[in-house]
Amino acid sequence: MLARTHFVFGLLFGVIFLPLLKFGNLFDYFIYFIFIELGVLFPDLDHPKAKVHKKIFVSKIIPLIFSHRGIFHSIFPPIILSGGLFYFLKEFYALPFFVGYFSHLLGDALTIQGIAFFQPFSNFKIHGLLVTGSFTEKIIFYSIIVLILFRIYYLF
């Protein structure tokens, strides 16, 4: 999936899981969605052309060590990283990070390239029929935006 589709897919999951946490003010919503999008971005740190490398220099080392759609695209990093966030910062940060990360994995699992969900223990790939950057992905992108708007409307 393209970065923009991952972004809105993460937002959709974010608005779906909003009722699980209590928000004290508008700033809490902002932090919630920042952690959703951090989770969305994290799996592609292993991609040499990821946009995040322009912002965070240290991240340029990761693609030299890990292959794209390898360990970073398995279920273990979000569990470990969210566990750490839960331990140090509590569920208010851990849940949105996990939701964002998992939405990225689910999105890539829908593509023809797929992901090895249990890497490094299994190379079995879960994949769908979506071609990254295709017209179908554009339709999905705009459909997700409509779903987000409906969800927000019915939440408030």
Of 14-28, 40-54, 96-110, where does the model show the most confidence?
96-110
Per mean pLDDT, which range of 18-22, 25-29, 55-59, 70-74 is the poorest?
A: 55-59
pLDDT > 80? residue 139: yes
Per mean pLDDT, which range of 11-20, 25-34, 48-57, 118-127 is the poorest?
A: 48-57
Tokens standing for residue 92: 């208010």
Average pLDDT value for residue range 42-47: 86
Most distant pair of Cα atoms in the chain: their distance? 45
The pLDDT score that the predictor gives to residue 86 is 95
Residue 104 near residue 42 (C-beta atoms within 8 A) = yes
Tokens standing for residue 44: 């592609």
b/e per residue, 88-111, with b = 16+ CB within 10 A? eeeebbbbbbbbbbbbbbbbbbbb
The pLDDT score that the predictor gives to residue 48 is 74
pLDDT in tens, 94-134: 999 999 999 999 999 999 999 999 999 999 999 999 999 99
Residue 127 near residue 109 (C-beta atoms within 8 A) = yes
The pLDDT score that the predictor gives to residue 59 is 67
Spans of all domains in the chain = 3-155
Distances from the Cα of 108 to the Cα of 71, 76, 123, 135, angstroms: 13, 16, 15, 16
pLDDT > 70? residue 58: no
Q: How far is CA 56 from the centre of its chain?
A: 18
At 126, give phi and psi (nearest 5°): -100, 125
